[in-house]
Chain A
């Protein structure tokens, strides 16, 4: 009898299929956004921030716009970091499959004594009433073999395809710290501050025009100040980028920049000085990032020189972007 059972088991084992050859897996993968999908795509000006350029004498370069690309790159680094965690699911086949979920792991984390697990659950009825199919993503971690898994990255992806859907991701840096999975600053990466604290969120929409990506930093991180960054990109190439930067004098500049497909644009800037003074100015620039018009009531830009209290230069009608 035992030999008969062994024979049956051997036959069953031999006939058992193995692999990851799955159309349903493809649906799960399709729901997960890639880094490329969420990237902030700001046109790169020809000049670098602070660089002299061949602009009309007396006008100078639009420095706030020259900072847009580096800021966008910083945001993309943050996106890459989060999507790098999400991409775990593309590097390994699912460990467990059910009709509406896939589970990866637990895997050993790169931090010794920690393990990770990823689950994606499909909700055909949507995450909101009447909404499209929704995918709930949770990357959780714990001290290996101990306690419950604690979410460190949670996300929702709405729509069958991330390339045409909406979604949001939130990473809980404080949980990462609590689990001892935080990283120190990387000396190989100038300006790297290591694992930040607080929470960072990403919201995106690729279901319409414009496509949007928003990043919310509760704490400074990735060399960027705390802010809710927002980027919108239209199919015809024009866009809007709301971002924040701190200049060399410690002024906090919050910039709402609109640009066209050629890189011409206009920005409305709010300035908060270290002394608590709030000011603002507007300017527009051409394809070479040279100021075409500026309205600077407090002469913050210093374009008109040190003397005038208020500076207006050029005509707003010369702006390609209203």
Chain B
């Protein structure tokens, strides 16, 4: 209840009428998925940071040159970037400009410290840096476990009461810290939405769903209030329990802090007055990019970047879904539910999406050409060992792509008519990239896809090096890939893979050859 009152207070304080505050904005966006050895890698921390940058640059008035995106940085790199932005802010103030400095962090935190790879940045230091930063308004948004500790420092003072008589005074000044969870709570990521809950709703709010006043501008208070409510609501039923965002408000002066202005982004999806319900907007990869909790009575526009989107609405009582595709350009597109398709819940386009998942496969196998003449002459069967690094659900739901490399070889005897058999030692190096689709069947996954690879073959003739020079061959080989895997632990799967490749050979004569590569291996999934 206390939190709700605080939100209401904050919203009221900031929503009051005041002169426009149009500061020069600087933003530092940090995505830190790794906290070093032994800590699970966060799947969406980097995506969260990218997403916030996109929203702030597109709608938040942050110029590209004034934004810094740091992915998997160290504490020193964060300090340096923050210092650079502070210096730019100081220079802007010296020119007479009002300034706003925003720091966003998505990543690990524990025991009062941000954890960036193997380095640490304490909340106290971060808070002090922001408090002392040469900007009129400093905003820190921390989306991490136990983030609330940053918002409960000793000596915090309550926000000053809003004074109408200062309406003509300079704009707001001070520090606002927003944390995605309380000091004793974990912040959660969602496989379904492919983001952390808090950032997902905060960004959705900035795109328009938090515009409670309907004035086409999303203020800091509106965005926080919206993200608070949606985060609490969405995490209430999770295994880790409800997550309560908190804030520290230390802002004086007059006016409001507008974080995004929807007006310049003329495009987007308009949810007309009559629509009600919760809508999820998915990009072409079926990743959630925004949500709208629509109530009747007033239209709402979500300022999306131009592109193709899928809009999903869950129907009441779990009776199904409405799903429709929307093409957003430079003009608003009004959502028409009558043109959306009704689907069963089992066909939820968002279902099961877990974000990009990285894994590595190592295995051994062999290679054999189908043509018997090639097999007994130029391309004898070879043993292969290889690795593959792959990422699933990055290009789209159920889609995967990866890079592979293999090394192999063997020895054989080459027989040419009229010549005595000669010993041959051969080796090969191949590498390629594959895109495939997975089909899950319980603990088994079957995959089919296409691969484009290169192959480098070399052979030598032991004991004949004075007479027969070494030979080599390089070409590109397209092919198809099929695989079956059995996941026997969350991180490990046994994989059987078959590749069918085409090889064009034109040294002696033009030949269209095919060969197969079979491999058995073990796949390790990172972050499971």
The one of A19, A30, A34, A161 that contacts B466, using a Cβ cutoff of 8 Å: A34
B468 near A29: Cβ-Cβ < 8 Å: yes
**Interface magnitude class on chain B:** 20 to 34
| Bound Cα distance from A11 to B473, whole angstroms | 18
**Min distance, Cβ B268 to any Cβ of chain A, angstroms:** 33
List A contacts of B467 (CB < 8 A): 29-30, 32, 34, 90
- Provide the residues of chain B in CB contact with A91, threshold 8 Å: 469
Interface residues of B in 405-421 (CB under 8 A from A): 414, 416-420
What residues of A have a CB within 8 angstroms of the CB of B457 in the complex?
19, 21
From 176 to 191 in chain B, residues with beta carbon under 8 angstroms from any chain A beta carbon are none
Kindly state the separation between the CA atoms of A119 and B326 in the bound complex, as whole angstroms: 67
When the two chains form their complex, are residues A17 and B471 in contact, meaning their CB atoms are under 8 A apart?
Answer: no
Q: From A35, which residue of chain B is reached at the shortest CB distance?
A: B466
Candidates A18, A26, A36; contact of B468 at CB < 8 Å: A26
Residue A51 lies at the interface, judged by CB distance under 8 Å to chain B: no
The reply to whether A21 and B418 form a contact with Cβ atoms under 8 Å apart is no
One digit per residue, 1 when the CB lies within 8 angstroms of any chain B CB and 0 when it does not, for chain A 208-251 equals 00000000000000000000000000000000000000000000
With A34-B467, A36-B466, A97-B507 given, is the CB distance from A19 to B419 under 8 Å? no
User: Contacts A15-B475, A36-B466, A91-B469: A21 and B419 contacting too (C-beta < 8 A)?
Assistant: no
Q: Looking at the complex, which one of A21, A30, A97, A133 makes contact with B472 (CB distance below 8 Å)?
A: A21
* Contact call B378/A23, Cβ cutoff below 8 A: yes
| Chain B, 463-494, CB within 8 A of any chain A CB | 466-469, 471-476, 478
- Which residues of chain A have C-beta atoms less than 8 A from B471's C-beta? 19-22, 25
* B interface footprint on A3-23 (CB within 8 Å = 1, 0 otherwise): 000000000001111111111
A57 to B109, CA, bound (A): 104
The answer to whether A18 and B469 touch across the interface, beta carbons within 8 angstroms, is: no
Which of chain B's residues 446-462 have a Cβ closer than 8 Å to chain A? Answer: 457, 459
- Identify the interface centre among B414, B469, B472: most chain A CB within 10 Å of its CB: B469
Q: Does A160 contact B (CB under 8 A)?
A: yes
Contacts of B459 in A (CB 8 A): 21
CB closest chain-A residue, reference B478: A15
Measured between alpha carbons, how far is A225 from B474 in the docked complex, in Å?
A: 51
A32 to B508, CA, bound (A): 19
The reply to whether B504 and A19 contact each other, CB–CB distance below 8 Å, is no
User: Knowing A29-B467, A97-B507 touch, does A17 contact B474 (C-beta < 8 A)?
Assistant: yes
- Flag whether B377 is at the interface (Cβ < 8 A): yes
Closest beta carbon of chain A to B410's beta carbon, Å: 15
Q: Tell whether B506 is near chain A: CB-to-CB under 8 Å.
A: yes
Contacts of A111 in B (CB 8 A): none
Nearest residue, chain B, Cβ from A18: B474
A27 & B419 in contact (Cβ 8 Å cutoff): yes
Encode B409-450 as 1/0 by CB contact (under 8 A) with A: 000001011111010000000000000000000000000000
Given contacts A15-B504, A17-B504, A34-B466, contact A23 B472 (CB under 8 A): no
A17 and B468 contact, CB distance less than 8 A: no
- Within 8 Å CB of B420, what residues of A? 161
What separation, in Å, do the CA atoms of A29 and B460 have in the docked complex?
A: 14
Query: In the complex, how many angstroms separate the beta carbon of A8 from the nearest chain B beta carbon?
Result: 15
Whether B370 sits at the interface, judged by CB under 8 Å, is no
B505 proximal to A (CB < 8 A): yes
Shortest Cβ distance from B506 into A: residue: A17
Q: Does A24 contact B (CB under 8 A)?
A: yes
Residues in B with CB closer than 8 Å to A26 are 414, 416, 419, 422, 468
| 16 further contact pairs, Cβ within 8 A, besides A19-B474, A27-B416, A30-B419 | A15-B475, A16-B475, A17-B473, A17-B474, A17-B475, A17-B503, A17-B507, A18-B475, A21-B507, A23-B378, A23-B508, A24-B507, A25-B508, A34-B467, A90-B468, A91-B469
Binding site for B on A (CB under 8 A): 14-27, 29-30, 32, 34, 36, 90-91, 93, 97, 133, 160-161
7 A-B residue pairs with Cβ-Cβ distance under 8 Å, sorted by A, are A24-B507, A27-B419, A29-B467, A29-B469, A36-B466, A133-B418, A160-B418
